[in-house]
Amino acid sequence: MKAQRRRSAGFTVIEVLLVMLTIATLLKVILPNMREMQSEGSLTKVDEELVTLKTAIISYWRAHNNLYPDNITTDLVNTTPQLLASPMADPFRTEGTTYGYEKGVDASFGPWFAVFSKGPRGDTLSVVFEAGNRRIRYGGSGRVVSNAPVVKY
């Protein structure tokens, strides 16, 4: 009589390697798409927050005798009426760093301000700029998104 071989209840090495290879291939396809979606979410967040900051700056300007705030981190939070509950952090900068803000006076335009975000590569990603009677929005690489007359508030 021949001895019967019993097959063990486990998986062979080849089966385990095939499963691992399939999982690795799926991860290789899925992970870059997830990172891209996360980056797109951050871009959307930046656009929305820049509009909120612009509105808060214009509200500050109206409430404080046509003066722009010196510092958007503190002036928009610690003013009466309170315009922001807390400072907004730029998602593309180091933890806790707020959006960029500049203001000034130009002989041609008059008072102006700009709020901006640094993009994922460190270049200026998006800018809301208002001066005189023009509002200009820039996208990445200096691309003008809109250049429209300012509606008087």
Residues written for the chain: 153
Query: What is the pLDDT tens value at each position of the chain, 153 positions in all?
Result: 566 666 667 889 999 999 999 999 998 888 877 777 777 788 888 888 888 898 899 889 889 988 889 998 889 999 888 899 988 888 887 776 788 888 888 777 678 888 888 777 766 666 666 665 556 555 544 444 444 444 433
Please identify which residue in the block is written with the tokens 């730029």: 90
Q: Is residue 44 part of a domain?
A: no
Q: Is residue 17 part of a domain?
A: no
Q: Is residue 105 part of a domain?
A: yes
- 54, two tokens: 């612009």
- 139, two tokens: 């996208």
Question: What does the longest C-alpha to C-alpha distance in the chain come to?
Answer: 107
Count structural domains, the chain: 1
Q: Is residue 129 part of a domain?
A: yes
Find the domain containing 66 and state its range.
49-149
Q: Is residue 108 part of a domain?
A: yes
Q: Is residue 96 part of a domain?
A: yes
Does the pTM surpass 0.75? The reply is no
Amino acid at 65: N
Q: Is residue 38 part of a domain?
A: no
